[in-house]
Copies of this chain bind each other. A is one copy, B any other.
Amino acid sequence: MKRKIIAIDMDNVMADVTSQLSGWYYDRTGILVTEEQMAGKNEIAAFPDSGLVRSFLYEPGFFLGLKVMKDSQQVLSEMNKVHDIFIVSAAMEFPNSLPEKYQWLQLHFPFLGWQQFVFCGSKTVIRADYLIDDHLKNLDFFDGNRILFTAPHNQLVKGYTRVNNWLEVADMLL
């Protein structure tokens, strides 16, 4: 495969937002919302008290504490050798997340440089050959190859090229 420009979303693609939302929700309310219950639902609206869940996104430490998605480090490390990788996160809605996302990337993906980070409000302004993202609102306005990364909220979506995990990303792009 020739060298490509590949834009990669952070939340729910590199960083496991879903498990942290449900973990924090359980810690605060004692109510467990499973991934099965979240299937096809908006990430926030899937919880009984969506206001509480939304407040998590503004709490210091939320983004810095996210777990790394399985196999993403190894696969991205290899992809970074043969493609031009850009990490493109719609981080502007949560300005407190900007320094945390930067630190998180440096901590867990030290082989990436700051030259490869893009924090934006809208991804309509991004030019690349591929975009890997869990949100249709980002993929639908993208000009290149659109790859839907499976998350509970998009499980029922059809009609997109889909990857379920990072090993499938490797199969496609390495």
Show the binding face of A for B, using Cβ within 8 Å. 5, 7, 86, 88, 92-93, 95-96, 98-99, 102, 113-122, 124-128, 143
Contact of B98 with A119 in the complex, beta carbons under 8 Å: yes
Residues from chain B with a CB closer than 8 A to the CB of A113 are: 121
Nearest Cβ on chain B to A127's Cβ, whole angstroms: 3
Contact of B86 with A125 in the complex, beta carbons under 8 Å: yes
Complexed CA–CA distance, A118 and B120 (Å): 4
Chain B minimum-CB-distance residue to A5: B125
Q: How many copies does the complex hold?
A: 2
Interface centre among A5, A118, A124 (most CB of B within 10 A): A118
> Which 3 pairs show the lowest CB-CB distances between chains A and B?
A127-B127, A115-B121, A92-B114
Chain B minimum-CB-distance residue to A127: B127
Complexed CA–CA distance, A121 and B102 (Å): 11
Partner of A116, one of B93, B95, B115, B122: B122
Contact of A7 with B125 in the complex, beta carbons under 8 Å: yes
Chain B minimum-CB-distance residue to A114: B92
Q: What are some 29 contacts across the A-B interface (CB < 8 A)?
A: A5-B124, A5-B125, A7-B125, A86-B122, A86-B125, A88-B125, A92-B102, A92-B117, A95-B99, A95-B114, A98-B99, A98-B119, A99-B99, A113-B121, A115-B121, A115-B122, A116-B122, A118-B118, A118-B119, A118-B120, A118-B121, A118-B125, A119-B119, A119-B120, A120-B120, A126-B126, A126-B127, A127-B127, A127-B143
Residues from chain B with a CB closer than 8 A to the CB of A126 are: 125-127
